[in-house]
Amino acid sequence: MSVKNQITIAEIARQLEVSKTLVSLVVNGKGDKHNISESTQKKVWNKVKELNYKPNSVARSLRTGKTQSIGLIVADIANPFYARLARIIEDYLRPFGYHLVISSSDETAENEVNLIDTMIEHQVDGLIIASTQKDSEKFQELQSKNYPFVLIDRYINDIQTNYVGVDNYSGAYSMTKELLKSGYDKVYYLSVTPDYLSTIKERERGYLDALSEIQPLIRKVDFNAPHKDLENIIKEIMNADIHKPVLFSSNNHVAKACLRIIRAYGIKIPEDIALVSFDDIELFEFSDPPIAAISQPIDRMGRFAADVLLKQLSGKTQYPVKHILKTTLVNRKSF
Amino acid sequence: MSVKNQITIAEIARQLEVSKTLVSLVVNGKGDKHNISESTQKKVWNKVKELNYKPNSVARSLRTGKTQSIGLIVADIANPFYARLARIIEDYLRPFGYHLVISSSDETAENEVNLIDTMIEHQVDGLIIASTQKDSEKFQELQSKNYPFVLIDRYINDIQTNYVGVDNYSGAYSMTKELLKSGYDKVYYLSVTPDYLSTIKERERGYLDALSEIQPLIRKVDFNAPHKDLENIIKEIMNADIHKPVLFSSNNHVAKACLRIIRAYGIKIPEDIALVSFDDIELFEFSDPPIAAISQPIDRMGRFAADVLLKQLSGKTQYPVKHILKTTLVNRKSF
DNA sequence: GTGAAAGCGCTAACAG
DNA sequence: CTGTTAGCGCTTTCAC
């Protein structure tokens, strides 16, 4: 059952009749710095290969206080947005010797706090979090302990932290303007509950500001069970015989639910009702018709976040650092 | 920069004027077993709360040899199939106190070996791997070291290991039969290179066996750059003016590439050319038209894999364990 | 009922 | 150039 015959530095030292220190130094590439002779170093390396020695990083971590691991906490790793983000971050971090511990908070603030605590117990060197917290309490605690972390996608009010995200406000603003320009003046904005997330609030603000004189039409949808709410909203719109109605979904999850309902009812996009969404996903490109959306630069977000954390870990920069990236409007024939 | 004021068991012991042993016992719930008085235990717990003590699991791991972490290695965590799998496995494992270290091998055998080594250095308690290895060498090594692992999705020849996957053969077989039944006798099977993966081979075998008398039409596509190959194949078919041609894609990635090309050329599915795929993804439900596919029971796969590993970790069962799950044919109007 | 002490495998002063 | 020593924070045998 248990793993046997683990070769340690002590075993190498014993066989070579040198000290553990010597072996440690060589293995960690500090041989030259300590003027250890070529021949001794070679001897060590040969033994390392012969015995297939692998350092025990747990022991090293206990000693150095560094685990070379980064915690990534997102709402749901199965969500393509976060999955892609995870992949980008992993690729960026690996060359620096870090690996990722990934967990999903399931959009629950309490779960998230538990995950953060667990990860800290496991001594991850830093945290990247797409947070679902309502307030800044937990992050204040992290800051007071000097724990390196960067918020991604969503920020939290009342606290200055590292943050990488997109300009949700102007994304929603420009999409709304685009709709108005195309003659849509009944723009139904589909927000979600719970609605305290910064992304959701900013998008709604962008929508409202773009409307200016026009009557806002905000509808709230239960994020975890959007179907029923959406069915009512869509029925309401269709029955009221509105001229050129358009649904502006605040995220891809709700937009997919819209598509299902619209298809089930045999409603035509964009003739009967138009549909656009925040957060572009591959599916929108292939759906019938393709759905216009606000695309987020996921790759750049991920790299920036990883980079900010890395810099903080190496003590190289001032904090906090904020990166707000621009979104892109992907125009497709859904409106 | 560094994290300060970490409370240790020694600090609690000092303040309470008891031994570290005592504190450790209580904190690990072994107080009663060692007949430690109620009042002493209470004292310890109060102090733990007062100082907000969190055990250092790295130290614990060094001592116990267990890290409570499981490594998950897949081809690409951004692939919806693996992302979903990761989520399921994480949820299954968390209640047992395990967390997941996730890495993507990018379909490269060498990367995968490096990831396995790194994870072992970091002392993960077990490994779940959707392997891209050509041979069983690495896994023989793991077995000889008694390292617990389970292969998922893809198996490796010439070695008996824990394995959880689907019946790729019968999935492809039944899809092919279904196509024949619908009058398609020009079934182009789109395989991928590299083609040594068990999933790919089994699917091809299922396709071939189902054809019986009919002429097989296998085309190989470069997995990492399918576009060019597919363009040639599709052109070839369209130019040859075949009666009722159908493309059977061996995976979702290639099917998406087909969709892009078919759309770009203005070709109609299923009138001009039909299209079906192995491995159902959400996108197929929404595309125009929806694409029929062989759906894999990802959730069950993930849970089984996690369960098998857990059982091995607790030394509860005989090895190896194999679970081959049934696929489902999702019939949509693409043929 | 409780504690002393050893040690997991490694790194880093410090010594010579 | 190389070695001795002292822990990192925790668990666990053994002893009282």
Domains and CATH numbers, chain B: 9-63 (1.10.260.40), 68-163+303-323 (3.40.50.2300), 168-295 (3.40.50.2300)
Instruction: Pull the structure tokens for residue A204.
Output: 């709604």
Angstrom distance (rounded) from CA B248 to CA B186? 10
Q: How many residues does chain A have?
A: 335
pLDDT at A177 over 60: yes
pLDDT in tens, A184-208: 999 999 999 888 999 999 999 999 9
The tokens 């409603």 sit on which residue? A267
Alpha carbon distances (Å) from B250 to A208, B176, B201: 47, 12, 10
Angstrom distance (rounded) from CA B204 to CA B208? 6
Residue B93 host element (H or E): helix B80-93
Phi/psi for A195 (5° steps) reads -115, 25
- Asked if strand D comes closer than 7 Å to B62 Cβ, the answer is yes
In chain A, pLDDT over 70 holds for what percent of residues?
Answer: 99
Ramachandran bin of A16, using left for φ above 0, alpha for ψ from -120 to 50, beta for the remaining angles = alpha
- Asked if strand C comes closer than 7 Å to B120 Cβ, the answer is no
Sheet holding B217-222, edge to edge: B217-222, B186-193, B245-249, B274-278, B292-295, B328-330
pLDDT in tens, B45-97: 999 999 999 999 999 999 999 999 999 999 999 999 999 999 999 999 999 99
- Asked if strand C comes closer than 7 Å to A27 Cβ, the answer is yes
Residue A179 host element (H or E): helix A168-181
pLDDT at A174 over 60: yes
pLDDT in tens, B275-308: 999 999 999 999 989 999 999 999 999 999 999 9
Phi/psi for A5 (5° steps) reads 60, 35
Angstrom distance (rounded) from CA B101 to CA B72? 6
* A58 Cβ under 8 Å from any chain B Cβ: yes
Question: E strands along B86-212, which residues?
Answer: 99-104, 126-129, 149-152, 162-166, 186-193
CB A58 to CB B61 under 8 A?
yes
Interface contacts A/B by beta carbons within 8 Å: 153
pLDDT bucket at B38, cuts 50 / 70 / 90 = confident
For residue A192, which amino acid is it? Answer: V
Q: What is the CA angle B4-B9-B15, rounded to 5?
A: 90
B140 HSE (CA, 13 A, CB side): 7
Phi/psi for B164 (5° steps) reads -130, 125
pLDDT at residue A5, rounded to an integer: 57
pLDDT bucket at B37, cuts 50 / 70 / 90 = confident
Maximum CA pair distance of chain B?
89
Whether residue A320 contacts residue A161, with contact meaning beta carbons closer than 8 Å, is answered with yes
Beta-bridge partners for A287: B287
- Asked if strand C comes closer than 7 Å to A64 Cβ, the answer is yes
Task: Please state whether beta strands A292-295 and A163-166 pair in parallel, antiparallel, or not at all (unpaired).
Answer: unpaired
| Interatomic CA–C1' length for residue B204 and nucleotide D3, angstroms | 63
Task: Please state whether beta strands B186-193 and B217-222 pair in parallel, antiparallel, or not at all (unpaired).
Answer: parallel
Quick count: other Cβ atoms within 10 Å of Cβ B27?
Answer: 17
pLDDT at residue A17, rounded to an integer: 86
Whether residue B57 contacts residue B67, with contact meaning beta carbons closer than 8 Å, is answered with yes
pLDDT at B3 over 60: no
The tokens 């719970």 sit on which residue? A194
Whether residue B165 contacts residue B152, with contact meaning beta carbons closer than 8 Å, is answered with yes
User: DSSP secondary-structure letter at B287?
Assistant: B
CB A120 to CB B5 under 8 A?
no
Q: Identify which has the larger pLDDT, A30 or B238.
A: B238
Cis amide prior to A320 (ω within 30 degrees): yes
* B137 Cβ under 8 Å from any chain A Cβ: no
Residue B330 host element (H or E): strand B328-330
Whether residue B142 contacts residue B177, with contact meaning beta carbons closer than 8 Å, is answered with no
Quick count: other Cβ atoms within 10 Å of Cβ B218?
Answer: 15
Whether residue A131 contacts residue A156, with contact meaning beta carbons closer than 8 Å, is answered with yes
Instruction: Tell me the nearest-neighbour CA distance from A109 into chain B, angstroms.
Output: 16
For residue B220, which amino acid is it? Answer: K
User: DSSP secondary-structure letter at A215?
Assistant: P
Task: Please state whether beta strands A322-325 and A217-222 pair in parallel, antiparallel, or not at all (unpaired).
Answer: unpaired
Mean pLDDT (chain A) is: 93
Angstrom distance (rounded) from CA A318 to CA A74? 25
Angstrom distance (rounded) from CA B165 to CA B323? 6
Instruction: Pull the structure tokens for residue B2.
Output: 């560094």
| Interatomic CA–C1' length for residue B56 and nucleotide D8, angstroms | 11
- pTM for this model (two decimals): 0.94
Angstrom distance (rounded) from CA A151 to CA A73? 10
Instruction: Pull the structure tokens for residue B292.
Output: 């029929």
pLDDT in tens, A74-114: 999 999 999 999 999 999 999 999 999 999 999 999 999 99
Closest among A280, A279, A252, A258 to A270, alpha carbons compared = A258
